[in-house]
Each structure stands twice: as C-alpha cells, then as structure tokens.
Amino acid sequence: MDSHTFTLICVYILSGLLGLCVGSFLNVVIYRLPNNMSLANPGSHCTSCQYSLRWYDNIPVVSYLLLGGKCRKCKSRISPRYMLVELLNGVLWVLSVALFWESSVVYACAAAIVSSALICIFFIDLEHMLIYNRFTLIVAAGGIAAMFTDSGTAWYDHLIGAAAGGLIFLALYYGAITVLKKEGLGFGDVKYAAAAGLLLGWQKFILAMLLASVVAAIVMSALNRIQKADKQTEHPFGPYLTAGTLIAMLAGDAIIAWYAGFLMNLIM
Ligand SMILES: [Zn+2]
C-alpha cells in the first residue's frame, strides 16, 4: 500500500469516528434547542429518571447497543433516533471525505459540516415545524465555500441557485397565503431554499426539488394508505427538501451526468 492510500484510509477512519462523536452532540442539539434548554448544562441524563450518564453510557452507537436501547438505571426506552442520528452523521462524514477530499479538502469539510446542519434541520422541522436561522446560515456558509471549491458547478451558478431558490419559495409562500388563505410553508423555508440554492447551484437545486417531491409523494401516499384519508395531518416540506439537498450535494453531479448520458442515448 502506498503512502497516499494509507493517508486516505486514516482520513476515512478519523472522519468516521469524529462524525459519530459530533452525531452524539447533534442529538443534544435536536432535543434541547426547541425546548429552550442549555446545550452545556446539565450533562447528558435520562429524561425519565434524571440519571446522569457516565462516560461509558455516552459512547456513540456502542452504548446504545450494549444497553439494548434502555436507560441503565430505570430501564425506560431510549428513542432509536439517538443511534440513527449518530450513525447517519458518521456515514455522511465518511461519504463527504470519500467523495470530495481528493478534489478539494475545503469542499469535503464544508460538505461534512453542512450534512450535520441538515440532520438538525431535518429532525427539528419534522417534529416542531421550524427551521432555525443558525442552521440555514451554516448551509449558506457552505454555499460560499462551494462557490470557490465545487469543481462541478461554476461560481455564478451558485448565485443563480440562491436567487432561484429564494424566489421560487417566496412565490410559493405568498401564493399559499393568497390562494389557500393560510401559510402553506413558513418563512424559514424561504430562507432555507435560498441557502440550499447557494450551496448546490441552480442545476443541483432543481434536482433537490425533484427528489424532495418524489420522496414526499411516496411518503404521503404510504401514510394515507395507513391512516386513511380523513385524518389530514400537516406535512412540513422542509424535511423533504433537506433530504433532497443532502442527496443532491453528495450525488448530484453523478445523477445529472448519468441522466444526461441517458438522454443522449435516447437521441442517438
Ligand atoms: Zn432512566
């Protein structure tokens, strides 16, 4: 094995381990931020019996599996979301590094950090229907980094993406108020769409919206089948757009290239 491959493998392993630990912190953010709790104090504890977690209860994924998803003291069930968020963040950090490290270290790091912000937006919006500005700002900062380091998309495509995202969702926002006489989406979605457009560039932003619509259609038809049509629950669009953003950021260039090749084959 040459030294270049060895370095890359070390970077993969380190980013995976670091990603798991950061994922553990994201759980704290996702739970505490919407409940107006301090992120630092008190330390991690069981939400049923207040048992303070020891260091060995706090090892990402491992502790959850060893404890069988239950509190060590009171045995009440801990949501599998905690392990899911840790795993997801670890995997996304490895993917960011694996996909982008060799073309741009800055873009790889930006993609990893943005992935973590997207995880927070996804789970908080899903439960509380709101998108915090601080996460949108992280996505926008990733967008500024992408303007200079995203090899697949020109800098002005990112600016066009920001304008397109903001304007499309602004139109949807006022359209819903005028036509449906209610807020179809929050203003947080408009700001988020502008940030996502800046991050992705307009080509990958369109892809993200398509992916979001497809996933939303599948999930909603599945939910309607389960809970009958009379129970109309409100679906925030944010989580779908977040998932679409994530896929477009990581695999957008490949998907667009594959689709362009597919079209060429049809024509030729
Ligand atoms: Zn407990």
**What does pTM read for this prediction?**
0.92
Q: What is the pLDDT of residue 42?
A: 85
Residues 194, 63 share a domain: no
Residues 125, 90 share a domain: no
Ligand 1 center to residue 126 CA distance, Å? 25
Domain that holds residue 58: 1-102
Ligand 1 center to residue 30 CA distance, Å? 19
Q: How far apart are CA 233 and CA 227, in angstroms?
A: 10
Residues 111, 98 share a domain: no
Ligand 1 center to residue 67 CA distance, Å? 12
Residues 252, 215 share a domain: yes
Ligand 1 center to residue 157 CA distance, Å? 51
Ligand 1 center to residue 34 CA distance, Å? 22
Ligand 1 center to residue 52 CA distance, Å? 9
- Are the beta carbons of 121 and 133 closer than 8 angstroms? no
Q: Which residues is 70 bridged to in the sheet? A: 77
- Are the beta carbons of 230 and 182 closer than 8 angstroms? no
Residues 204, 118 share a domain: yes
Residues 169, 246 share a domain: yes
Q: 164 CB contacts (<8 Å, ≥6 apart)? A: 197, 202, 205
Q: What is the pLDDT of residue 41?
A: 84
Residues 229, 160 share a domain: yes
Q: What percent of the chain has pLDDT over 70?
A: 97
Residues 252, 175 share a domain: yes
Residues 36, 19 share a domain: yes
Residues 251, 129 share a domain: yes
> What is the chain's pLDDT, residue by residue, as a tens digit (268 residues)?
889 899 999 999 999 999 999 999 999 999 999 999 998 888 888 989 989 999 899 899 999 999 999 999 999 999 999 999 999 999 999 999 999 999 999 999 999 999 999 999 999 999 999 999 999 999 999 999 999 999 889 999 999 999 999 999 999 999 988 888 777 788 999 999 999 999 999 999 999 999 999 988 888 888 878 776 555 566 788 999 999 999 999 999 999 999 989 988 988 7
Q: How far apart are CA 118 and CA 250, in angstroms?
A: 12
Which residue, 65, 86, 102, sits at the end of a domain? 102
**Cα–Cα distances in Å, from 242 out to 18, 51, 85, 126, 147?**
22, 34, 15, 11, 20
